[in-house]
A and B are shown apart, each in its own frame.
Chain A
């Protein structure tokens, strides 16, 4: 019996559907990156090959996470958070600047983005915090974890990285939702946020870079100035819309191939995909994401303990948020805030982090099935 379970658990926890979904989405990502950078005579390794390499590293992270034990990992939550905060400080002083933001730490030929890893660590920290003791009262449930989030959030906003900052807030909000907030506490939050909103708006708006303000303004009226502020949003919408039902085919995306759409391989990869594969492709990709998130939610709901459930919920929330906001912003529903599409956008840090997070999810499932640890 025991033997059968142990024998069984490897196969069962290493959910084939789950891995297949991840691989399919990754495949779409590589294909889109390949297509958009096709014909660009770049220096060095093509992006799609680099992305494949990152996926390789991500796969290793995935397996390590899967094979590890999230309870052990949770114990390192605070030190890990300290390291992340340190890196976020380092990035402010030593970081590589790109497009007006200082987000990367150079390590030899590579550079990585601490804010991406900060998201996963934050999930770990909050899950650990809530599961360690019964946190009662709004001080313990809301304020203290809020104070935990704050230093990371501020450091990220300082870079500035609006997208990661919002992800941070989203993770925090999702966690609050999961542990449940008494209406009293919720009322206090609401009251405070309403009272503080003008100040916060001033603070947030004032700390934004010009391009970010313009992007937000562009969201209001993208057709106002096609060459300037709204350019990105409009070109992205044109790319998606012009894909119509069946798309323009591989390399057929004129918006991206002719570089009307900037950052086609990173934040706007969805627009590239939508242009080349049309609404049908979009439905397939959305279905894949929904499937992945659905399975993840199942893992969360079947987690055998609070820590597992909260970890899984946090990861799912983070994933959901990124997918929805990214697609929403490329489709012109949200302001352009610079969030990559998980598993699809080019980027080492994000890919590795997302795959590690998914590995962690699978680990939560594995632990549920195992009787001994």
Chain B
């Protein structure tokens, strides 16, 4: 029908053109084939890699942090499961939208979320945005997962301190690693979101306790949601710590301080084991291990009671009359005084134009060294100080560990000050004034000490000059091998002080309790030796104690050891603004010593049993 209109040539042309179409088709298909060959064969492996990366995300498996036990195996810190929210930036299409969704859904702080999303790190690595989520919040996120690309909920172990505020300053707390910390070499193998110890033994033993992160490869879909997971490396749990602390004694010490501000340190003079170390006011490490808002932080940091301050190792106080112990030893050793030589005390000591008062208005009359300690006669020690000079005092003070950190396993320990002429020249670029020696002789003026130093000092006296570095950690249990690595006590040597001197001093210290300034520390259970101290806060004292505002009242000191015959415990107590040491601090020391005496004989330490099984019995309490 249609052909008729056309000349034959035209139709023939059509055939010719169809041929062109055929050739063209083959050419184009060849081109396509070439392209596909290029993609699949030549660049195939490259694209294979890309597709593997596309679908797999490397998720770090946080290790379980090592546990912390007290000396009897009482759990002080463990881990509990909790939910954490992670975001993988690679899978997030709209970051601002996500921020809005998360703030709307969970009430998170938008700026904080933004900051965390903007933190440095691989886009492929999920970053932690929120931890310790409630089950409700976690469920909420899971139910919205289709609207939240790149978001995932991980179950993780979260630090938990079953005792709440108990031993908070010793244990410390954990927190997410900070940007500055990440730069440091010791945190090289960590990453954003890693939890590290930020305070206490959590910090100082972090390397042992944090463990090694594992890794799993998660196959995800385009929304970043997990489809399959393969574990590449299992996380290695951190090592457990066994502290020297006795949780029960710790509790007693903390309860004794109650609402007061102050510190109590109790240690075993025979090996330096810290049995209790209380500091008040305290904090709840469970709260601090959580992520705090900036406001919460400010509240804690600006708290006038400075609850984060471990007064036992970081509080520096004038030692007051407790300083008379090293003074007395120095006096005997340097033969500045003989045990029988006396000083007449009329209640004051004239030096130059200034009269230095004794705490007792009428004076103590003739006093020898024994009585000077028992009644804490200031004039006697003014005289001793005046005769010895500051540099001799400093020498002895330093022998007893004053003016330098004890080296306890806690971060930011303070060293206090044991002044000397050289110290003043160096620190203040000033000449030492003779009058300053007199103040220093009764532990005032420039002298400052930490309660831990004083506990160590009285322990050294109790142990006849054999000194150990105070310590908090007695063993580390390797989780991978199950081996218990005991940490030996660290001897600091023996002071070259005559045993006779210690005998005289300890006699005097025993009498301080039986008939001296600390009769309130007298115990029916155990013999106690000790020394009171009152650290002046304000120079001017007018009127009776009760009329002075609390913050100007003196700090009450008491250092003690017991039993006098064979000391097992050395204690230092400081009560801030609690007034006289004999009245305020001595009863506390008595309580803690009695508590310890009641506690120890009955329950043998779990840890020492374990050690004796393994053939090493050095951790037993009895020396």
Contact = CB atoms under 8 A, between A and B. Distances in A.
Interface of A: 71, 131-134, 174, 177-180, 227, 235, 237-245, 254-255, 258-260, 262, 274-275, 278-279, 282-283, 286, 289-290, 293-294, 297, 300-301, 304-307, 309-310, 313, 316-317, 320, 324, 327-328, 331-333
Contacts of A244: 40-41, 44-45, 47-48
A269 to B, nearest CB: 15
A240 B22 contact: no
Contacts of A305: 1-3
A55 to B, nearest CB: 25
A241 B46 CA distance: 8
Contact of B25 (A290, A306, A327, A331): A290
Contacts of B29: 286, 289-290, 324
Contacts of A174: 21
Contacts, number: 157
B21 A238 contact: no
B54 A260 contact: yes
B287 interface: no
Interface stretch (B7-15, B370-378, B479-487): B7-15
5 contacts: A178-B17, A242-B52, A245-B44, A294-B25, A324-B32
Contact of A240 (B3, B36, B220, B222): B36
A17 to B, nearest CB: 17
A300 B17 CA distance: 11
Given A242-B51, A313-B21, A331-B35, A324 B44 contact: no
A71 B1 CA distance: 9
Interface of B: 1-3, 5-6, 10-11, 13-15, 17-22, 25-26, 28-29, 31-33, 35-37, 39-41, 43-48, 50-52, 54-55, 90, 93, 219-223, 227
Prevailing SS type, chain A contact patch: helix
Prevailing SS type, chain B contact patch: helix
Nearest to A258: B221
Contacts of B15: 301
A307 B93 CA distance: 53
Contacts of A262: 222
B2 A243 contact: no
A259 B13 CA distance: 49
A259 B5 contact: no
B174 to A, nearest CB: 35
Given A242-B48, A245-B41, A254-B55, A274 B36 contact: yes
Contacts of A260: 51, 54-55, 221-222
B6 A254 contact: no
Nearest to B35: A331
Given A241-B39, A305-B1, A180 B17 contact: yes
Q: Which of A258, A297, A305 has the most CB of B within 10 A?
A: A258
B55 A241 contact: no
A335 to B, nearest CB: 15
Contacts of A240: 36, 39-40, 47
A134 B1 contact: no
Given A240-B47, A242-B48, A134 B39 contact: no
A134 B48 contact: no
Contact of B3 (A254, A304, A327): A304
Q: Which of B6, B18, B29 has the most CB of A within 10 A?
A: B18
Contacts of A286: 29, 32-33, 36
B32 A238 contact: no
A306 B13 CA distance: 11
